[in-house]
Amino acid sequence: MIWTVYILKCADNTYYVGCTGDLEERLIRHRRREVKYTSSRLPLEIAHQSVFTDKFKAFEFEIYLKSGSGRAFAKKRLYSI
């Protein structure tokens, strides 16, 4: 199975980091306002996505991106503000 760690840029210029085994289905849930954080921040655009074959490594990367150093890394290397 393929796992995707993704970063969404929200309409209010905030970013949402998530991990999923089905990116298309997850994006549908975001756009249907089923995800609390992004429901009031539509429209969304994909700022970055990384693909993993190892679920554990994908979730580790998601946790890293949500940390202080991970946010700095993402801002500098994965998307431009």
Token reading at 2: 């393929």
What is the rounded CA–CA span in Å between residue 9 and residue 23?
15
* The pLDDT of residue 72 is above 80: yes
Return the pLDDT at 80: 64
Q: pLDDT tens digits for 20-68?
A: 999 999 999 999 999 999 999 999 999 999 999 999 999 999 999 999 9
CB count, 10 Å around CB of 30? Answer: 21
Question: How many helical (H) and strand (E) elements, i.e. helices and strands, does the chain have?
Answer: 4, 3
